[in-house]
């Protein structure tokens, strides 16, 4: 990263408690603009919680979190931090797209309606413009023939591609993916990873929680290994997969590779 460039994500000693128990125990991570970072680690290590903190679905209890130079959840006045108002959280969240393991589409809306909803409601984009942009996005994820299909009429892979289009409709600066292919039948995984790969190639900044090690190896610029509420090591996939520095990373990799 060159001096003066604002990182896409700057996490410093992020702490998150649930019921008084530290779930995130000081997460440090820096992501440059345009980077694709895969977050790997055992179940329960805090990967989803960390992504949810980035997207305001959880509030952090300590440390600091910034996305493209803006504090997440707080506003800085002088050297003091103030909690954000709901309207400011909505504005910040619009910059951060998120795709979940379960596609979370609105079941009573068509693919197209799912994609136009947030731009119209949150950004007040006029309906004709929202539709034109949604059609382009659905084309881009390979669903030009399914604009008017309801989620129940789509395969899991198609639903997840609608979910990606829906997140992109807000023109986010960064996309977070939480195990986007884990709920899919194996034969549908590839079509979702292909869309993610092309997004990465177009320069989107991405954080991807995944068990798809081949994807991590091919697409990610960095892999971060998380265990027990902290990121233990971060390296290029080539180095992390072939010569992990920590025993815990080695143990995890021998189980999944």
Binding site for ligand ADP (CB under 6 A): 18-19, 23, 41, 43-49
Q: How many CB atoms lie within 10 A of CB 73?
A: 18
Looking at the Cβ atoms of 46 and 119, the one nearer to ligand ADP is 46
Looking at the Cβ atoms of 125 and 224, the one nearer to ligand ADP is 224
DSSP codes joined into one string, 132-197: HHHHHHHHHTT-TT-TT--GGGS-HHHHHHHHHHHHHTT--SEEEEESTTTTS-HHHHHHHHHHHH
Looking at the Cβ atoms of 113 and 179, the one nearer to ligand ADP is 179
Looking at the Cβ atoms of 73 and 180, the one nearer to Mg ion is 180
Name the nearest CA neighbour of 177 among 201, 161, 190.
161
Least Cβ distance, residue 101 to Mg ion (angstroms):
7
Looking at the Cβ atoms of 58 and 191, the one nearer to ligand ADP is 58
Least Cβ distance, residue 46 to ligand ADP (angstroms):
4
Phi, psi of 16 (to 5 degrees): -135, 130
Looking at the Cβ atoms of 52 and 161, the one nearer to ligand ADP is 52
Question: 44 is in the binding site of which of Mg ion, ligand ADP, none (Cβ under 5 to 8 A by kind)?
Answer: ligand ADP
Question: 106 is in the binding site of which of ligand ADP, Mg ion, none (Cβ under 5 to 8 A by kind)?
Answer: none
Q: Judge whether 41 and 47 are in contact, CB under 8 Å.
A: yes
Least Cβ distance, residue 77 to ligand ADP (angstroms):
30
Quick check: helix, strand or coil at residue 26? strand
Least Cβ distance, residue 12 to ligand ADP (angstroms):
19
Least Cβ distance, residue 184 to ligand ADP (angstroms):
17
Summarize as ranges the residues that interact with Mg ion (CB under 5 A).
48
Question: 23 is in the binding site of which of ligand ADP, Mg ion, none (Cβ under 5 to 8 A by kind)?
Answer: ligand ADP
Residues 6+ apart with CB under 8 A from 7: 1, 30, 31, 32, 33, 66, 68, 69
DSSP codes joined into one string, 94-149: TTEEEE-SS----TTS-HHHHHHHHHHHHH---HHHHHHHHHHHHHHTT-TT-TT-
Question: 172 is in the binding site of which of Mg ion, ligand ADP, none (Cβ under 5 to 8 A by kind)?
Answer: none
Least Cβ distance, residue 156 to Mg ion (angstroms):
18
Question: 114 is in the binding site of which of Mg ion, ligand ADP, none (Cβ under 5 to 8 A by kind)?
Answer: none
Residues 6+ apart with CB under 8 A from 136: none
């Amino acid at each position: 990263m060159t001096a003066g460039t604002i990182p896409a994500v700057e996490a410093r000693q992020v702490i998150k408690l649930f019921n008084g128990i530290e779930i995130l125990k000081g997460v440090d991570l820096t992501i440059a603009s345009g980077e694709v970072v895969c977050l790997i680690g055992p179940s329960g290590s805090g990967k989803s919680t960390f992504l949810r903190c980035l997207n305001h679905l959880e509030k952090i209890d300590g440390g600091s979190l910034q996305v493209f130079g803006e504090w997440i959840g707080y506003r800085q006045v002088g050297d003091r931090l103030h909690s954000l108002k709901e309207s400011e959280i909505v504005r910040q969240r619009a910059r951060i797209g998120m795709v979940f393991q379960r596609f979370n589409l609105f079941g009573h809306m068509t693919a197209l309606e799912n994609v136009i909803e947030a731009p119209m409601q949150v950004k007040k984009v006029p309906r004709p413009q929202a539709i034109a942009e949604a059609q382009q996005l659905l084309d881009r994820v390979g669903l030009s023939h399914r604009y008017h299909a309801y989620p129940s009429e789509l395969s899991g892979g198609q639903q997840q591609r609608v979910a990606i289009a829906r997140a992109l409709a807000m023109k986010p600066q960064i996309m977070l993916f939480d195990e986007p292919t884990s709920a899919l039948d194996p034969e549908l995984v590839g079509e979702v990873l292909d869309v993610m790969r092309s997004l990465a190639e177009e320069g989107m900044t991405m954080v991807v929680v995944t068990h798809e090690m081949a994807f991590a190896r091919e697409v990610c610029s960095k892999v971060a290994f998380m265990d027990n509420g902290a990121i233990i090591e971060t390296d290029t996939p080539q180095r992390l997969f072939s010569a992990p520095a920590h025993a815990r990373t080695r143990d995890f990799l021998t189980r999944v590779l």
